[in-house]
C-alpha cells in the first residue's frame, strides 16, 4: 500500500550545490537543490532561482554562474549559503572559502569544491515560484587529487552529499554497480574484478 500525498517536489536523492556568481571582486554563493543535467551534447544544466534571491539579479545580468558540487566537508558551508543572504554577509569571507579563477567566466569557482561546472545561461523561463536559468556547461574542473593516471574520477573519495526532502545525507563511497552492469558478460565481470583488485593493490 502507498500513502498518497498532495503534489509536491518529493524526488530523492537530489544534489544540493553551491552556485557562485558575480566576479572575483563582488561575488556571492547561494545553495540550489533545483538543478540537474538536461542534455549531454552540448552539455546542459539548469538552476531554478526565486527572483527574491540576492543572486537572482546577479545571474540574470551576467548570464553566468558556476555550479560547485557539495562534499561532506562542505555540507555546513552549503547549508549556510542557503540560509544567509549575500545582501547581509560576504559568504566567501565568512566561511573562509577561497576563490579560484574560472577559465571561461568572470565568476569565481569555490576552490574547496572538487568539481566545478562553468555555466553560461542560454534561456530563462519563468515557471511560477522559480525562474529557471537553462545553461550550457562550457568548462568542467575536477580536483586532480581525485583523478587517476588514466583520467578516471574517484567519485567515492569525493564524498558527495545527497538532499532528501530537507535533510542532507551521506552517500555510499563504494559503487553498487556501473552503467550496463546488469547485462554484462561473465568475461567482462572477471576483467572488472581483476582491474578493481589491481587498483586496490596499487593504492596500498
Ligand X SMILES: Cc1cc2nc3c(=O)[nH]c(=O)nc-3n(C[C@H](O)[C@H](O)[C@H](O)COP(=O)(O)O)c2cc1C
Q: Which residues bind ligand X (CB under 6 A)?
A: 16, 28, 30-34, 48-50, 53-55, 79, 82-87, 130, 163
Contact 139, 104 (CB under 8 A): yes
78 three-state secondary structure: helix
User: Parallel, antiparallel, or unpaired for β 99-100 and 17-22?
Assistant: unpaired
Q: DSSP class of residue 71?
A: B
Minimum CB separation of residue 111 from ligand X in Å reads 19
Q: Cα separation of 111 and 99, whole Å?
A: 6
Contact 146, 157 (CB under 8 A): yes
Phi, psi (rounded to 5 degrees) for 197: -60, -45
Q: Which is nearer to ligand X, 32 or 67 (CB)?
A: 32
Q: How many CB atoms lie within 10 A of CB 49?
A: 24
Q: Which is nearer to ligand X, 29 or 115 (CB)?
A: 29
Q: Which is nearer to ligand X, 78 or 115 (CB)?
A: 78
Q: Which is nearer to ligand X, 165 or 191 (CB)?
A: 165
Phi, psi (rounded to 5 degrees) for 31: -90, 135
Q: Which residue is nearest to ligand X (CB)?
A: 82
Minimum CB separation of residue 189 from ligand X in Å reads 38
Minimum CB separation of residue 119 from ligand X in Å reads 14
Euclidean distance between the first and final Cα of the chain, in Å? 48
Q: Which is nearer to ligand X, 85 or 184 (CB)?
A: 85
Minimum CB separation of residue 169 from ligand X in Å reads 12
Minimum CB separation of residue 72 from ligand X in Å reads 15
Q: Which is nearer to ligand X, 137 or 162 (CB)?
A: 162
Q: Cα separation of 35 and 133, whole Å?
A: 10
Residues in Cβ contact with 129 at an 8 Å cutoff, skipping those fewer than 6 apart: 50
Minimum CB separation of residue 154 from ligand X in Å reads 25
Amino acid at each position: 500500500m502507498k500513502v498518497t500525498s498532495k503534489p509536491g517536489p518529493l524526488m530523492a536523492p537530489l544534489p544540493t550545490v553551491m552556485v557562485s556568481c558575480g566576479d572575483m571582486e563582488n561575488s556571492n554563493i547561494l545553495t540550489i537543490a533545483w538543478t540537474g543535467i538536461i542534455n549531454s551534447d552540448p552539455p546542459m544544466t539548469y538552476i531554478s532561482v526565486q527572483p527574491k534571491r540576492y543572486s537572482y539579479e546577479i545571474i540574470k545580468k551576467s548570464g553566468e554562474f558556476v555550479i560547485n558540487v557539495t562534499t561532506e566537508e562542505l555540507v555546513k558551508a552549503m547549508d549556510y549559503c542557503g540560509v544567509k543572504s549575500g545582501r547581509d554577509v560576504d559568504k566567501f569571507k565568512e566561511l573562509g572559502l577561497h576563490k579560484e579563477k574560472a577559465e571561461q567566466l568572470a565568476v569565481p569557482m569555490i576552490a574547496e569544491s572538487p568539481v566545478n561546472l562553468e555555466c553560461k545561461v542560454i534561456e530563462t523561463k519563468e515557471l511560477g515560484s522559480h525562474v529557471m536559468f537553462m545553461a550550457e556547461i562550457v568548462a568542467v574542473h575536477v580536483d586532480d587529487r581525485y583523478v587517476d593516471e588514466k583520467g578516471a574520477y574517484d567519485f567515492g573519495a569525493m564524498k558527495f552529499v545527497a538532499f532528501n526532502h530537507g535533510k542532507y545525507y551521506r552517500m555510499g563511497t563504494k559503487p553498487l554497480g556501473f552503467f550496463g552492469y546488469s547485462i554484462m558478460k561473465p568475461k567482462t565481470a572477471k576483467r572488472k574484478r581483476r582491474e578493481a583488485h589491481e587498483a586496490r593493490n596499487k593504492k596500498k
